[in-house]
Structure 1
Amino acid sequence: MSSSATTKPALQQWHVTEPYVHPHCGLGEGPYYEAATNSVRFVDIKKQRVHAVSLDAGPGSLITIQLDTPVSVTADIAGIDPRDRILIGAKYGIAVLDRRAGTYEYVARFASGVDNERLRGNDGAVDPHGRFWLGTMSDIGLHLQAEGHLYLFTGTRTAAQSMRHPVTIPNSVGWSPDNKTMYFTHSTERTVYAWDYALSDGGLSNERVFYRHEGPGEPDGFRVDVEGYMWHAVYGESRVLKISPAGALVGQVNLPTQNITCVQFVGTELFITTASMEKGEGPEEAVELSGALYRVDVGVRGLDPFEFKMDN
């Protein structure tokens, strides 16, 4: 057998060297394309901020809302102009953020009764049925433990349903182009799980491992493109992975800083959030470029996000 028949194909490679916008996030996360305004929203969990930048006006248009809670993810709400209100994942559950007033009100909490002060919301997404999946984990500054949940919220004001427990760092949730497969990343297990997702009622079955990461870093947030490939940020490895629908690593985006957190498609461009690095944690340039938002054209479009369906 010839050597060419046994050699793995070379990975596709993209290289990013400069930030698109650099707000020096402590923990940049949750990039989201706001189609109504052609802008990208993203959050800073540590600094409790929601950022937005207009892609028409450019980096100088960055606006920031300062909150008093660790906000980890955002989503559009069906029937509501996102310039007015959006959904956010917050400390105790999901809330509606009034962007003009800079205030928020909880729609539903993780638990009925007493809030768990040790936990905060992390990553999540709206599913094809308009429900919101959101993970919880040990809050910043606390010893990390396997005490979190992956919760499911409907549009009512009832407490969420725990769908998976215990988890340590639950991360992105997403779906295949035909909506028949749901993916979920458990970062500390370095594993992306997959289920069959029922189009009729959103039920899950046939749990399996889709991708298991080998390397020093941990898989963080992801998005899926229209061809079914997963684009997965890796915290601690300065890269975003391109994973095939069969779960094979086929490409990567290389970045100039280490802590890559999540991605979002805008057309064929991938917007990439990052977290800060401490002085001495890596090369001086990598530290300086940490906590920025990056962009790169990867030549394929991503799937559109679903809107949260909230009962009036």
Structure 2
Amino acid sequence: MSTTDAKGEQLQVWNVTEPYLNLHCGLGEGPYYETATHSLRFVDIRERRVHTVDLTADHTSRSTLVTTVQLDTPVTVTADIEGVNPRDRIAIGAKYGVAVLDRRSGEYEYVARFGDADVTAGEQGKGKDNERLRSNDGNIDPHGRFWLGTMTDIGLDLQPEGSLFLIDAAAGTTRTIRHPVTIPNSVGWSPDNRTLYFTDSTARTIHAYDYDVTSGAVSNERPFYVHDGPGEPDGFRVDVEGNLWQAVYGESRVLKITAQGKLVGEIRLPTRCITCPQFVGTELFITSAGMEPGEGTDEEVELSGALFRVDVSVKGLDPFLFKLGS
């Protein structure tokens, strides 16, 4: 299907009317395809859970194919670790930094804390945790480092007090890349790894940077896409052709944006608070956040916090693996 936007441009359109799985997440986020097990991980930030759904069988009751790890900390994003079986351990963004989660016991251990950012090697461990903040979205770069943002924790007055951090666990360093940020969101790379994208949700802007594939340095910040609408850009993924698939929180849709920053398509969904997509082959799995009664139509509220699926006929880029120190 196709339609025209407000400027008269032709747009590809995909309409999704039913959820793939509805766990009624408080804040569904961070979908991640676990290749080793052909399963999809995603988190519920509000409920502090990591869900994993088995994609090997198309069961009539998909909730029976879900396993859940309950944590005592907000968990916002996950990643596989180089040389580690993801059935055993994965990396997570937690309240105070990056931790390694034992999926069998549910126990986790921090390998980097935001409070230690930018201190010298001799001062490591002297930073303090900021109780007002928690991690948000993030991603692993081609050098195995964790780009991870922080923002005001749930239940507190939202302030521009967050940051975007670069965590190199192998080197034992944590650096502040951008501050202040109100809601730092997805980070991703172009197919040739020469461009880094970063979504600043409250600014409604996806920034682009030159990324040095040898050193991992970033430079030349510029606006790549500025969203014109009532919603805020949330999480995104990049496909093999260089398009960004950008979820828009509050607008019931995921946008398809070319490598030139042009809007060329949209996925329309039956609930408003769309948070993040993830490729599994040519399908996009899309998370969403919960809504309270009265915040939308009965259908929008009932399907809020659900997981959706749609085939968009293009594959996504494979994720990079997090590197731990020796």
TM-score interval, normalised by the smaller of the two chains: over 0.9
In structure 2, what is the equivalent of residue 41 of structure 1? 41
Q: Does the Cα contact within 8 Å between 2:272 and 2:300 map onto a contact in 1?
A: yes
Q: Bigger shift: 156-165 or 234-243?
A: 156-165
Counterparts of 1:158 and 1:109 in 2: how far apart (Å)?
Answer: 10
Percent identity of paired positions between Structure 1 and Structure 2 = 68
**Partner secondary structure for residue 321 of structure 2:** coil
Corresponding residue SS for 1:105 = strand
Whether 1:117 and 2:131 are equivalent positions in the alignment is yes
**Structure 1 residue 74 corresponds to structure 2 residue 74:** no
Write the distance in 1 (CA, Å) between the matches of 2:186 and 2:223: 15
Say if 2:167 is the partner of 1:163: no
- Find the counterpart in structure 2 of residue 23 from structure 1: 23
CA-based RMSD of the aligned residues comes to 1.0
Give unpaired runs (5+ residues) of structure 2: 1-6, 117-126
Q: Residue in 1 aligned with 2:201?
A: 187
Partner residue of 1:290 out of 288, 291, 304:
304
Structure 1 stretches of 5 or more lacking a match?
A: 1-6
TM-score for both structures, normalised by structure 2: 0.92
**1:189 is paired with a residue of what secondary structure?**
coil
1:157 Cα deviation after fit: 7.6
Please identify runs of 4+ aligned residues in structure 1 that moved more than 4 A.
Answer: none
| Alpha-carbon separation, structure 1, partners of 2:143 and 2:171 | 17
Quick check: 1:111–1:159 contact (8 Å CA) kept in 2?
Answer: no
Map of 2:314 onto structure 1: 300
Residue 267 (structure 2) aligned to one of 253, 258, 273: 253
Structure 2 equivalent of residue 4 of structure 1: none
- Where in structure 2 are the equivalents of 1:169-208 lying within 5 Å? 169-208=183-222
Superposed CA offset, 1:152-185 (max 9, x none): 0002484521110000000000000000000000
Q: SS of the residue aligned with 1:64?
A: strand
SS at match of 2:22: coil
Q: 2: distance between equivalents of 1:35 and 1:234? A: 26
Contact 2:170 2:323 in 1 (8 A): no
Matched, 1:103 2:117: no
Output one character per residue of 1:36-73: Cα deviation in whole Å (capped at 9) or x when no partner: 00000000000000000010134230111100000000
Residues of 1 paired with 2:216 and 2:45: CA distance?
29
Matched, 1:88 2:83: no
Q: Secondary structure at the match of 1:79?
A: coil
Distance 2:318 2:15 in 1: 25
Q: Is the 8 A contact 1:109 1:159 kept in 2?
A: no
Taking a change above 3 Å as real, the CA distance of residues 290 and 46 of structure 1, as seen in their structure-2 partners, is: same
